[in-house]
Amino acid sequence: MSEQKAFSLDIKDNGVAVITIDVPGESMNTLKDTFADEVGRLMNRLEGDSDIKGVVFISGKPGSFIAGADINMINDCETAADAESLARKGQAMFDRIEQLEVPVVAAINGACLGGGLELAMACHVRVCSDNPKTQLGLPEVQLGLLPGSGGTQRLPQLVGVQQGITMMLTGKQLRAKQALKAGLVDEVVPQSILLDAAMKHALSAKPKKKKAPLKGISKVLEATAYGRNIIYKKAAEQAQKKAQGNYPAIDKIIDTVRIGVEKGREAGLDKEARSFGELAMTPQSYQLRQIFFATTEMKKETGADGVKPADIHRVGVLGGGLMGGGIAYVTAAKAGLPARIKDISHEGITHALHYSYERLNKKVKRKHMRRAELEKTMLSLSGTLDYSGFERVDVVIEAVFEDLELKQKMVADIEQHAKPETIFATNTSSLPITQIAAKAQRPQNVIGLHYFSPVDKMPLAEIITHEGTSPETIATTVALAKKQGKTPIVVKDGAGFFVNRILAPYMNEAARLVLAGEPIEHVDKALVKFGFPVGPITLLDEVGIDVGAKVAAILRKELGERFEPPAAFDKLIDDERKGKKNQKGFYQYGKGVKGKPVDSSVYSLLGIEPKQNLDREAVAELCVLPMLNEAAYCLQEGIIRSARDGDIGSVFGIGFPPFRGGPFRYMDEIGIGALVTKLKTLAEQRGDRYQPAPLLVEMAEQQRRFY
DSSP 8-state class, residue 484: T
Q: Which amino acid is at 287?
A: Q
Please give the full DSSP string across 101-144, using - where no structure is assigned.
SS-EEEEE-SEEETHHHHHHHHSSEEEEE--TT-EEE--GGGGT
> What is the side-by-side strand order in the sheet with 54-59?
7-11, 16-21, 54-59, 104-108, 125-129, 187-189
- What are the distances in angstroms from CA 219 to CA 151, 213, 280? 21, 9, 34
CB 349 within 8 A of CB 383: yes
φ/ψ (deg, to 5) at 173: -110, 135
> Angle at Cα 383 formed by Cα 379 and Cα 387, nearest 5°?
130
> Angle at Cα 221 formed by Cα 220 and Cα 227, nearest 5°?
135
CB 260 within 8 A of CB 269: yes
DSSP 8-state class, residue 332: I
- Would residue 698 show up in a list of annotated catalytic residues for this protein? no
* Nearest alpha carbon to residue 455 among 571, 328, 544, 340: 328
Report helix, strand or coil for 523. Answer: helix
Which one of the listed residues 84, 140, 462, 521 is annotated catalytic?
462
Neighbouring CB atoms inside 10 A of 391's CB total: 11
Neighbouring CB atoms inside 10 A of 170's CB total: 15
> Angle at Cα 177 formed by Cα 176 and Cα 183, nearest 5°?
90
CB 65 within 8 A of CB 110: yes
CB 408 within 8 A of CB 439: yes
For CA atoms 92, 94, 95, 101, give the dihedral sign: positive
Return the HEC string of 267-294.
HHHHHHHHHHHHHHCCHHHHHHHHHHHH
Residues serving a catalytic function are 462
